[in-house]
Every structure is written in C-alpha cells, then in structure tokens.
C-alpha cells in the first residue's frame, strides 16, 4: 500500500477545499493510504511514497511555512529522491507558488514530479473540485507506473 501525504497551507480555505477533493480522488484507489496535514516535521517526509504540496500564491510567492519545510528538509539532507511529487494551489492573479514548489521538488530533491501543477483561480467551483479529484487519480497512476 502506498503512503501519500497531502501537505497544504490555506488562509482563505480555497486550497484546503482543493486538498480534500484531491484526497477524495486518491481514495478511489484501494492501493493508497492518504494523510492530509497542515504541518509536518521534515524527517517525516521520508516515510511517504508521494508528497503532494498545496500552496496558494500570495504576493507572487509561496508561503513561508512551505518554504521552511523545504529549507529544513534540505539542511537535514532528507532523501526524497525518486518519490512522486505534485503541487496544487489557488491564486488570485499570478499562481506561481505551485510551480515553484515543483521546481524545488524536482531540482533540489530529485523527485519524480507530476506536471503541470493544478491551479485554480479563487474558490474552486464544482468543475474545479472535479479537476482536483482527477488530479488525485493521476497521482495514483504515477505511483503505480513507477514500480
């Protein structure tokens, strides 16, 4: 059974709605156990097969909480090489934070990333939530392809 982490930050609740819908998509598979978390110690990241980062874009950047997780993992030499990585987030006008998270996951941690990131403008509507569930299903597909 695959262990999947959805680590997210949500100030307005939009990214949280996305995270829960992605979780629903992952749960359609009997092959994965998913954990939805708001905070995690960097050392815990190694215990997951897939790490999905939910980060909204504020002021053309990702939140400091998410930056800190990446920075601490790098300082502690946390090995994420080959793990599946994906990113998603809501945005108002630019949406680059999930792209930045993917870049770090790919280039710094050598993760096997799912591209492109899932971006939803403002609050996810029913169409957006359906895209989130489909994104969760794609994560399971990527996990099963890497074996």
pLDDT at 27: 96
pLDDT at 93: 83
pLDDT at 146: 63
On the question of a cis peptide bond just before residue 135, with omega within 30 degrees of 0, the verdict is no
User: Which sign, positive or negative, has the C-alpha torsion 61, 65, 71, 73?
Assistant: negative
pLDDT at 94: 87
Domains along the chain? 2-145 (3.40.50.360)
pLDDT at 67: 94
Q: Give CA–CA dist 19/36, Å, rounded.
A: 8
Distances (CA, A) of 10 to 52, 68, 78, 88, 92: 14, 16, 25, 11, 13
pTM, 2 dp: 0.95
- pLDDT tens for residues 73-105? 999 999 999 999 999 999 888 889 999 999 999
pLDDT in tens, the chain (147 residues): 999 999 999 989 999 999 999 999 999 999 999 999 999 999 999 999 999 999 998 888 899 999 999 999 999 999 999 999 999 999 888 889 999 999 999 999 999 999 999 999 999 999 999 999 999 999 999 999 865
């Amino acid at each position: 059974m695959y262990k999947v982490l959805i680590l997210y930050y949500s100030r307005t609740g939009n990214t949280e709605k996305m995270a829960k819908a992605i979780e629903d998509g992952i749960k359609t598979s009997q092959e994965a156990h998913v954990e939805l978390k708001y905070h995690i110690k960097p050392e815990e990241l190694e215990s997951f097969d897939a790490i999905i980062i939910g980060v909204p874009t504020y002021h053309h950047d990702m939140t400091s909480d998410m930056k800190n997780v990446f920075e601490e993992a790098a300082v502690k030499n946390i090995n994420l090489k080959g793990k599946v990585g994906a990113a998603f987030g809501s945005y108002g006008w630019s949406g680059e934070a999930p792209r930045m998270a993917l870049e770090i996951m790919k280039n710094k941690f050598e993760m096997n990333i799912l591209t492109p990131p899932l971006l939803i403008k403002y609050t996810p509507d029913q169409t957006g939530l359906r895209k989130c569930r489909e994104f969760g299903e794609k994560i399971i597909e990527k996990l099963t392809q890497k074996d």
